[in-house]
Chain A
Amino acid sequence: MGNNRIIEIVVGIFVALGIASLFMLAMKVSNLSSLGADEGYEIQARFDNIGGLKVMSPVSVGGVRIGRVVAIDFDQQTYEAVVRMIIDPDYDRLPKDTSASIFTAGLLGEQYVSLEPGADESYLRAGDKLLLTQSSLVMEQIIGQFLFGKAEGSGE
């Protein structure tokens, strides 16, 4: 009987360790604690060029993550990229004239949407469109402009 008891205790420890590992994978390794999932309100922005923006990319204000990109489509009428994003319901006081830009985190990092709050009195609601947008900076274009400028400068 004593032997049986020890086996049961050891199995109990084993199961507890397994569940603790699963818990660690859920909480420490993945983003469960900071997820907030699909709740929130959806807003839309149109860009000429979204660069490397992807679904699930972060949406932030002043570097603080407040939402994520949920869909990227291409509008064939205006030839613009339509980016739809979900904003956390806690952040419901963004002015109507908020502008959106696509930035890169670091030199090689992922791209994200940065919102710049405006000064309007009324706030963004679900389904609203951001009117002021700034496209992603494409590295080749910047280098091209830089070289072009250099060439002009040396010609003088």
Chain B
Amino acid sequence: MLGWLQSLGRIGLDFFERLGRGHLFVMRVLAGVPSVLLHPSLIVAQIYSVGVLSLVIIVVSGLNVGMVLGLQMYNTLVDFGAETTLGPVVALSLVRELGPVVAGLLFAGRAGSALTAEIGLMKATEQLSGMEMMAVDPIKRIVAPRFIAGLFSMPLLAAMFSAVGILGGYFVGVGLLGIDDGAFWSQMQAKVDLHEDVLNGVIKSIVFGVVITWIAVFEGYDAVPTTEGVSRATTNTVVYASLAVLGLDFVLTALMFGS
């Protein structure tokens, strides 16, 4: 019984210790941000590897999600003769929920895991220690540009996901199923509000971008510097970041659209 309690206590202490280290870490990263902004080429290179290389999977998934939404919603809506509301249905579900969330999950899998593996391997091969020996702060040189690139790329990727998804829904609804072109867009514009829906979706994607990139760089920087440690850290990034996105999405949805 006591042993069981002890192990529970250890798990709790470990959890809070990591949480605390994560927060101290992000403070140091934020403190390093101003000096990185003076070297934009570092950030540009990271936006390329974090954002641009995620573009294909985001666009393809967005297109497919939009087309499937269009197809499935049409089947239900046509029974009520309300198939022209396909526009608002597709747009609202993408802009409010699916865009930020699915883009966030894909971003965690595609970019987050790469960030963790890269930083973790740098640590395992003692490149980070080498930098410290040369009086280069690895947090400023390595972590901060990746952090900025991640939180900058994520809202753009989520917006592209939503936009491409709406085009996919348009393609299926208007192109294949023959809904009226004008009704599709005008009903969408009547129902989707810029502040209520689009802006809240963007806020969501910014929050997800911060959380995913934070988890990814922290897991990499905090990884046990062995082959096994790096692989575990990469797995942790994808699992924790995905859970964080889904959990935060519920909280944010309740705050934004709840009342």
Of B131-139, B182-190, B218-226, the stretch lying at the interface with chain A is B182-190
Number of interface residues of B (CB under 8 A): 34
Q: Which residues of A contact B47 (CB under 8 A)?
A: 11, 14-15
Q: Which residues of A contact B188 (CB under 8 A)?
A: 29
CB–CB B193/A21 < 8 A: no
Interface flags, B132-162, vs A, CB<8A=1, else 0: 0000000000000000000001011101101
In chain B, positions 165-206 with a C-beta closer than 8 Å to chain A are 166, 185, 188-190, 192-194, 197-198, 201-202
CB–CB B52/A11 < 8 A: yes
CB–CB A7/B194 < 8 A: no
CB–CB B190/A25 < 8 A: no
| A25 CB contact (under 8 Å) in B51, B163, B185 | B163
B68 in the interface, Cβ–Cβ < 8 Å?
no
Most chain B Cβ neighbours within 10 Å, of A20, A25, A30: A25
In chain B, positions 11-47 with a C-beta closer than 8 Å to chain A are 41, 44-45, 47
B211 in the interface, Cβ–Cβ < 8 Å?
no
CB–CB A24/B197 < 8 A: no
- Chain B residue at minimum C-beta to C-beta distance from A34: B189
In chain A, positions 10-55 with a C-beta closer than 8 Å to chain B are 10-11, 14-15, 17-22, 24-26, 28-35
Return 27 A-B CB contacts under 8 Å, by A number: A7-B44, A8-B41, A11-B44, A11-B51, A14-B52, A14-B55, A14-B156, A17-B55, A17-B160, A18-B157, A18-B159, A21-B159, A21-B163, A21-B164, A22-B156, A24-B163, A25-B198, A25-B201, A26-B198, A29-B91, A29-B188, A30-B95, A30-B192, A30-B198, A32-B194, A33-B189, A108-B81
